[in-house]
Structure 1
Amino acid sequence: MEIVCEWCGNEAKNSENSVYWELPDGTRAIEITETPAIVCNQCKMEYQTDEVTKEIEDQLFLVDTKKIGKSISYKELMALPRLLKRNYFDFSS
């Protein structure tokens, strides 16, 4: 399946990169390494899909963020035990 860049409309590819995310309580930001990303071959834009963004935001809302250091991999973040089963404050779905 061909991936199209959301910014310029040209061909893009799946990749991974590091992102920096502010915790929901606003106390600090963390680095999330090896995060799924889309990278455009033409405009060189690197970005996360809406789905990955939502997964990160939900997970950070549902885990004990005090147990996260300055940096964590995407897979490690998604594997952290949740305090709640789901984000009960998300009314978008």
Structure 2
Amino acid sequence: MTVCVWCESKQAFEGHNRVFWELPDGSRAIQINGTPCISCPVCGMEYQTEEMVDKIEEQLFLIDTKELSSNISFDELMNQERLLKKNYFDFRS
């Protein structure tokens, strides 16, 4: 069971949507299609979990974003070759 963080409805479910994301260097934004999300039929919100936001941000930080098209699928984005194995500047863990 998924609970909506906006309205606390227990009718929320996992789905996919389209998001627009600013690249880490601030040079432009890209459209990411098929991004995992939580959808709530009660309040109408569609949002990414904090974990998903972190996953996307980390991937964008570790790949060569100059090679990305302005429209990409989530799976294509996550399969891009990384320049680094991990984010050495993330001190949360």
TM-score by length of 2: 0.97
- 1:75 deviation in Å? 0.4
How many matched pairs? 92
Indicate the structure with greater strand content: 1
Aligned pairs (5 A) from 1:2-21: 2-10=1-9, 11-21=11-21
- After the TM superposition, which residues 1-93 of structure 1 pair with which residues of structure 2 at under 5 Å, given as runs? 2-10=1-9, 11-93=11-93
Name the CA distance, whole Å, in 2 between partners of 1:27 and 1:41. 35
TM-score by length of 1: 0.97
Gapped runs of 5+ residues in structure 1?
A: none
Percent identity, please. Answer: 57
User: Unpaired segments of 5 or more residues in structure 2?
Assistant: none
Secondary structure at the aligned position of 1:51 is classed as: helix
Deviations along 1:30-86, one digit per CA (max 9) or x if unpaired, are 000000000002001000011110010000000000110111100000000000000
Runs of 4+ in 1 over 3 A off after TM superposition: none
Distance 1:53 1:23 in 2: 13
| Root-mean-square deviation (Å) | 0.5
